[in-house]
Amino acid sequence: MIDFSYTRATSVADALRAQAATPAAKYLGGGTNLVDLMRENVERAPALIDVRALPDSIDAREDGTVLIGAGASNTTVAGSAVIRQHYPVLAQAILSGASAQIRNMATVGGNILQRTRCAYFYDSSRRCNKRTPDSGCDAIEGLNRAHAILGASSSCIATHPSDMCVALAALDARVHLRSVAGSRVIGLRDLHRLPGATPDVETNLRPGELIEAVELPAAPAGSASLYRKVRDRASYAFALVSVAAIMRVERGTILEVRLALGGVAHRPWRCEAAEAALSGRAPTREAFEAAAAAELEQAQAQTQNGFKIELAKRTLVATLEDVAGRSA
């Protein structure tokens, strides 16, 4: 049994003060990941700071941006009229993840910071560099069918489990952070790290920082978007491969395209090579296949997940074809 203290913060400032008093404390949102990890003895926080008093509003601002409070539930975001109208890819991504009950509890901030669902990370009898640095990675020679094909390292091949974050990466979302030292804003793409030699360091958060809100840029006019998720069963399963795609086509030319992959890397994977290959091109299957090939050129398979490379290519192409048709 893990002994820990519990504090329910009444405001962001209150939460930051509590964390400063106990630097090893963990922020607790809906608890849909952290509580599981504590039950499995993976997380051993001496103190929990309940931050469900965080802002949970979804505010459309005059400049066209939208600010989502980190305390908003996944259900609230997916059901928001503003999100469904202007950022449908985000609503689609959220609704494809977990169950309705979990979406009711899970918060935006907690979703962003959820940890990998790698079975070796959860099993304390197995070697895992993410859980115990420099202990080794049993997934590399073990059951790795669902593991990373992009950006992995010899220290870790785990994937980031979030659907929501894949859409946020494609949308160029920004994360508002706050600590006792002050506030800052960073791109979601800069928040999560690749594993390298230190897979236990998963984000670029500074000590004590709290996610306060997520900012969406103004929705690109005339664009179409889609989130597609490929998984082993129709519901309540993590992605083998997922794609968030946003595209604007005018007069037979791709003027803007933003793509992100899920289920393939340690963080939501922005498809910079595919985007560069498609910019200014006609939206043809040939162009989409070339872009997918360029994006997956550096992919590396493990002993059991080589199929994900071809699956990622085909899912990218199918999603691009669908979005191009909607945009046109």
248 domain-assigned: yes
Q: What is the CATH number for 278? A: 3.30.390.50
95 domain-assigned: no
Q: What is the CATH number for 43? A: 3.30.43.10
pLDDT at 1: 61
161 domain-assigned: no
195 domain-assigned: no
| Residue 50 exposed, middle or buried by CB count within 10 Å (0-12, 13-18, 19+) | middle
81 Cβ partners below 8 Å, 6+ apart?
none
pLDDT at 326: 87
Q: Please give the sequence-ordered ranges of beta strands (E in DSSP) within the chain, or none if there are none.
A: 5-8, 26-28, 47-50, 58-60, 66-69, 174-179, 182-187, 210-216, 224-230, 241-250, 253-262, 269-270
Whole-structure pTM value? 0.97
Measured distance CA(214)–CA(211) in Å, rounded:
8
109 Cβ partners below 8 Å, 6+ apart?
27, 29, 51, 54, 70, 71, 210, 211
Residue that has been written with the tokens 């005339």 in this structure:
222
Q: How many domains does the chain have?
A: 2
**In terms of DSSP H, where are the helices of 58-163?**
74-79, 81-86, 88-95, 100-105, 108-112, 119-122
**Residue 292 is part of which domain span?**
224-327
What is the identity of the amino acid at 138? Answer: D
pLDDT at 60: 97
67 domain-assigned: no
182 domain-assigned: no
Beta pairing partners, 256 = 248
Phi, psi of 153 (to 5 degrees): -140, 175
186 domain-assigned: no
Whole-number percent of the chain with pLDDT over 70: 99
Q: Tens-of-pLDDT digits for all 328 residues of the chain? A: 678 999 999 999 999 999 999 999 999 999 999 999 999 999 999 999 999 989 999 999 999 999 999 999 999 999 999 999 999 999 999 999 989 999 999 999 999 999 999 999 999 999 999 999 999 999 999 999 999 999 999 999 999 999 999 999 999 999 999 999 999 999 999 999 999 999 999 999 999 999 999 999 999 889 999 999 999 998 889 999 999 999 999 999 999 999 999 999 999 999 999 999 999 999 999 999 999 999 999 999 999 999 999 999 999 999 999 999 988 6
Whole-angstrom CA distances from 258 to 89, 143, 190 are: 11, 32, 16
Q: What is the crossing angle of helices 307-327 and 285-295, to 10°?
A: 140
201 domain-assigned: no
pLDDT at 83: 98
* Inter-residue contact 224 to 124 (CB < 8 Å): no
* Inter-residue contact 127 to 135 (CB < 8 Å): yes
* Inter-residue contact 209 to 178 (CB < 8 Å): yes
